[in-house]
């Protein structure tokens, strides 16, 4: 597999580097591109729980307590390299040099970025990194809390972007990163009174569920807006945009070999609703699931094995024959509470994937049924899925 190219970059300022530093940045940049664009994985916990290098735990006690005079000694140069892995999304690598321009050493520094909309932090190095909302903060590691006169230290991080490629605002020890005085803090600026906002909620998969790794993963969500029009609902798997739907019911299928699923058995997904007139976005609460290996026996597999259907609505699922040695036809039976219907009930032979539609009558919230798929020939064992009817909306 070839390394992904970085099609464009944005340089905010020139940073003078030795050949050794340039070699180091090239290697780390290539590794960062592979990390985000190929593996599709992120650190455990995602961008809301940023991590630091393992050897950065022992930070100097005075590392973040610098006076106003020392703050004016430090300037920051940021070089950002972007690459694209979707129509309007991708990764970003930021190489950051902090320079002491004064005649004495400076002990203690604190770098703060305000991340632009659509950007996230994934992993950093040579600093202790923390994230609070859109505020990304770097403080010294155990070895770089003091910057000698005329010297620089280099830190950096990789992240993701969606929408427009923008540079973050930043301060170093309370001063603007270019060394200018930002002036007195004017205090919070009154904003417009919040108006009605759109809402979105994941409906599949169920939080905490186990999904068989040979199944396509069905991602679905309910979305609504009191004003404007829903343009699309996006689905973000392990903080990677994997697809969107423009009409209700909102849902996509993610193949089991998708790059976003590589590297871990545990996964997280959330939905984002995007509206126009007015433009707004909202994210759902995340849900987690685990991929498990298929059983060793020859059997039909239900994808997924547990389905929630809104009363008065419908949902889809699949029965797959990927673990069977043949492709027999399937006969479906429904047992349990009334008001739950399945179509079709007879699935012809010759295919390894069979999608069905499950419909729940109005007023059946709380009903539970089980669908069983019985092969019409061969030695493949049957499979079943539990259907639960939930309140609409």
User: Which residues, 6 or more positions from 367, have their beta carbon under 8 angstroms from its beta carbon?
Assistant: 336, 337, 338, 339, 340, 360, 388, 389
The model's confidence at residue 289, banded by pLDDT at 50, 70 and 90, is confident
Nearest to 262 by CA among 241, 238, 235: 238
pTM for the full model?
A: 0.42
**25 vs 2, 148, 155, 163, CA distance in Å?**
19, 22, 10, 26
Q: Which tokens hold the place of 99?
A: 């320079």
Provide the pLDDT for residue 146: 93
Residues of the chain with pLDDT > 70, as a percent, come to 76
Cα–Cα distance, 205 to 309 (Å, whole number)? 12
pLDDT one-digit tens code per residue, 357-370: 999 999 999 999 99
Which domain, by its residues, includes 96?
8-176
Does some domain include residue 306? yes
Domain CATH code at residue 261: 2.60.40.10
The DSSP call for residue 171 is E
Lowest mean pLDDT among 65-69, 71-75, 141-145, 234-238: 65-69
Asked if residue 3 belongs to a domain, the reply is no
Domain count, the chain: 3
Task: Evaluate the omega torsion of the peptide bond into residue 205 and state whether it is cis, within 30 degrees of 0.
Answer: yes
**CA neighbor of 348 nearest in space, from 330, 368, 367:** 330
Distances from the Cα of 173 to the Cα of 138, 170, 180, 196, 332, angstroms? 11, 10, 12, 38, 67
Q: How confident is residue 266, by pLDDT bands cut at 50, 70 and 90?
A: confident
Specify the CATH number for the domain of residue 370: 2.60.40.3450
Residues 159 and 203 in one domain: no
């Amino acid at each position: 597999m070839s390394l992904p190219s970085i099609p464009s970059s944005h340089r905010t300022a020139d940073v003078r580097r030795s050949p050794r530093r340039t070699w180091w940045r090239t290697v780390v940049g290539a590794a960062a591109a592979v990390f985000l664009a190929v593996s599709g994985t992120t650190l455990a916990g995602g961008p809301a729980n940023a991590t630091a290098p393992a050897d950065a735990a022992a930070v100097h006690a005075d590392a973040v307590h610098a006076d106003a005079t020392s703050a004016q000694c430090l300037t920051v140069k940021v070089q950002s390299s972007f690459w694209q892995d979707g129509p309007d999304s991708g990764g970003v690598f930021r190489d950051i040099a902090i320079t002491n321009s004064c005649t004495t050493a400076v002990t203690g520094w604190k770098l703060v970025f305000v991340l632009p909309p659509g950007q996230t932090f994934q992993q950093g190095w040579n600093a202790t990194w923390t994230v609070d909302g859109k505020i990304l903060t770097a403080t010294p590691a155990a070895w770089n809390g003091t910057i000698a006169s005329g010297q620089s230290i280099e830190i950096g991080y990789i992240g993701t972007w969606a929408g427009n490629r923008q540079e973050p605002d930043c301060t170093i020890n309370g001063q603007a990163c270019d060394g200018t005085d930002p002036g007195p803090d004017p205090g919070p600026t009154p904003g417009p009174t919040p108006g009605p906002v759109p809402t979105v909620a994941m409906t599949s998969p169920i939080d905490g569920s186990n999904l068989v790794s040979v199944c396509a993963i069905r991602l679905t969500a309910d979305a609504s807006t009191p004003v404007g029009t829903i343009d699309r609902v996006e689905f973000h798997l392990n903080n990677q945009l994997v697809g969107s739907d423009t009409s209700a019911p909102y849902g996509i299928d993610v193949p089991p070999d998708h790059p976003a699923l590589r590297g871990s058995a545990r996964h997280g997904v959330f939905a984002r609703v995007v509206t126009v007139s007015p433009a707004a976005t909202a994210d759902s609460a995340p849900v987690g699931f685990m991929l498990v290996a298929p059983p060793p026996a020859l059997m039909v597999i239900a994808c997924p094995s547990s389905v929630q259907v809104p009363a008065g609505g419908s949902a889809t699922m699949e029965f797959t024959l990927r673990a069977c040695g043949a492709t027999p036809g399937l006969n479906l039976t429904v047992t349990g509470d009334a008001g739950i219907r399945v179509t079709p009930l007879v699935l012809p032979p010759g295919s390894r994937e069979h999608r069905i539609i499950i419909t729940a009558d109005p007023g059946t919230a709380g009903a539970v049924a089980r669908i069983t798929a019985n092969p019409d020939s061969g030695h493949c064992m049957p499979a079943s899925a539990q259907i639960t009817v939930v309140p609409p909306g």
